[in-house]
Chain A
Amino acid sequence: MTDMLDMIDWSCVECLNQNPSRNIGNALKQGYREDDGLYLESDTDDQLLLHIPFTQAVKLHSWAIKSVGTKGHAPRKVKLFINRPSLGFSEATDFPAVQEFELSEDDLEGKPLPLKLVKFQSVNILSIFIEDNQEEEETTQVQKIVLYGSAGEKMNVNEIKKVGEENS
Chain B
Amino acid sequence: MEATVVCIDNSEWTRNGDYAPTRFQAQADAVNLLAGAKTEANPENTVGVLTMAGKSPRVLVTPTPDLGKILNSMQNLDIEGQANLSSAVQIAQLALKHRQNKNQRQRIVIFIGSPIAEDKEKLVKVAKKLKKNNVAVDVVAFGSEETNGDKLESFIGAVNSGDNSHLITVPAGVILSDMLFGTPIFQISGGAGYGAAPGGDAAAGGDAFEFGVDPNMDPELAMALRVSMQEERARQEAATAAAAAADGTAGEAGAGPSVSLAGEGDKATAAPATVDEASPMDEDALLQQALAMSMQVDAGAGGLENAATSAAPSAAAPSASSGVDAGMFDTEDEDLRLALQMSMAGDGAEAGKERQGAVTDVLNDTDYVNSLLGSLPGVDPNDPALQGALASLTKSTDIKEEEEKEDGKDGK
Q: What are 24 A-B pairs at a CB distance below 8 A?
A: A12-B102, A14-B134, A16-B132, A16-B134, A17-B131, A17-B132, A17-B134, A18-B134, A20-B161, A20-B162, A43-B131, A43-B132, A43-B161, A44-B128, A44-B131, A44-B132, A45-B128, A47-B132, A51-B102, A85-B102, A86-B97, A86-B98, A88-B133, A89-B133
CA distance A47 to B128 in the complex (A): 13
Q: Is B103 an interface residue (CB 8 A)?
A: yes
Q: Which residues of A contact B133 (CB under 8 A)?
A: 16-17, 88-89
CA distance A43 to B133 in the complex (A): 10
Interface residues as binary, B129-145 with A (CB distance below 8 Å gives 1, 0 otherwise): 00111100000000000
CA distance A20 to B161 in the complex (A): 7
Partner of A12, one of B97, B103, B131, B162: B103
Q: Is A21 an interface residue (CB 8 A)?
A: yes
Shortest distance between the CB of A81 and any CB in chain B (Å): 15
Interface residues of A in 8-22 (CB under 8 A from B): 11-12, 14-18, 20-21
Interface residues as binary, A11-47 with B (CB distance below 8 Å gives 1, 0 otherwise): 1101111101100000000000000000000011101
Complex contact B132–A45 (CB within 8 A): yes
CA distance A135 to B131 in the complex (A): 23
Shortest distance between the CB of B120 and any CB in chain A (Å): 17
Shortest distance between the CB of B108 and any CB in chain A (Å): 15
Complex contact B103–A11 (CB within 8 A): yes
Q: Is A53 an interface residue (CB 8 A)?
A: yes
B contacts with A: majority SS: loop
3 A-B pairs closest in CB distance? A20-B162, A17-B132, A12-B102
Question: When A43-B132, A88-B133 are in contact, do A14 and B161 touch as well, CB less than 8 Å?
Answer: no
A45-B132, A86-B97, A89-B132 given; name 5 further pairs at CB < 8 Å: A12-B102, A16-B134, A20-B162, A43-B161, A51-B102
Where the two chains meet, the residues of A that have a C-beta atom closer than 8 Å to any C-beta of B are: 11-12, 14-18, 20-21, 43-45, 47, 51, 53, 85-86, 88-89
Q: Which residues of A contact B131 (CB under 8 A)?
A: 17, 43-44
Q: Which residues of A contact B134 (CB under 8 A)?
A: 14-18
Q: Which residues of B contact A88 (CB under 8 A)?
A: 97, 133
Shortest distance between the CB of A49 and any CB in chain B (Å): 9
Interface residues of B in 78-116 (CB under 8 A from A): 97-98, 102-103
Complex contact A14–B132 (CB within 8 A): no
Shortest distance between the CB of B305 and any CB in chain A (Å): 71
Q: Which residues of A contact B97 (CB under 8 A)?
A: 86, 88
CA distance A21 to B162 in the complex (A): 8
Q: Which residues of B contact A20 (CB under 8 A)?
A: 161-162
Where the two chains meet, the residues of B that have a C-beta atom closer than 8 Å to any C-beta of A are: 97-98, 102-103, 128, 131-134, 161-162
CB closest residue in chain B, given A17: B132
Q: Which residues of A contact B103 (CB under 8 A)?
A: 11-12
CB closest residue in chain B, given A19: B161
Shortest distance between the CB of B161 and any CB in chain A (Å): 6
Shortest distance between the CB of A77 and any CB in chain B (Å): 17
CB closest residue in chain B, given A47: B132
Complex contact B102–A14 (CB within 8 A): yes
CA distance A21 to B163 in the complex (A): 12
Q: Which residues of B contact A15 (CB under 8 A)?
A: 134
Q: Which residues of A contact B161 (CB under 8 A)?
A: 20, 43
Shortest distance between the CB of B103 and any CB in chain A (Å): 6
Shortest distance between the CB of A74 and any CB in chain B (Å): 20
CA distance A18 to B161 in the complex (A): 10
Shortest distance between the CB of A127 and any CB in chain B (Å): 12
CA distance A50 to B248 in the complex (A): 77
CA distance A135 to B161 in the complex (A): 25
CB closest residue in chain A, given B131: A44
CB closest residue in chain B, given A13: B102
CA distance A19 to B352 in the complex (A): 83
CB closest residue in chain B, given A15: B134
Shortest distance between the CB of A15 and any CB in chain B (Å): 8
Shortest distance between the CB of A114 and any CB in chain B (Å): 29
Shortest distance between the CB of A123 and any CB in chain B (Å): 16
Shortest distance between the CB of A107 and any CB in chain B (Å): 25
Which of B103, B132, B134, B161 has the most CB atoms of chain A within a 10 A radius of its CB? Answer: B132
CB closest residue in chain A, given B99: A86
CA distance A65 to B203 in the complex (A): 41
Shortest distance between the CB of B287 and any CB in chain A (Å): 56
CA distance A11 to B128 in the complex (A): 26
CA distance A28 to B79 in the complex (A): 49
CA distance A45 to B132 in the complex (A): 8
CA distance A47 to B97 in the complex (A): 18
CA distance A47 to B129 in the complex (A): 12
CB closest residue in chain B, given A91: B97
Shortest distance between the CB of A104 and any CB in chain B (Å): 27
Q: Which residues of B contact A43 (CB under 8 A)?
A: 131-132, 161
CA distance A51 to B161 in the complex (A): 20
CB closest residue in chain A, given B159: A44
CA distance A45 to B128 in the complex (A): 9
Shortest distance between the CB of A88 and any CB in chain B (Å): 6
Q: Which residues of B contact A45 (CB under 8 A)?
A: 128, 132
CA distance A21 to B97 in the complex (A): 23
Q: Which residues of A contact B162 (CB under 8 A)?
A: 20-21
Q: Which residues of B contact A89 (CB under 8 A)?
A: 132-133
CA distance A12 to B44 in the complex (A): 14
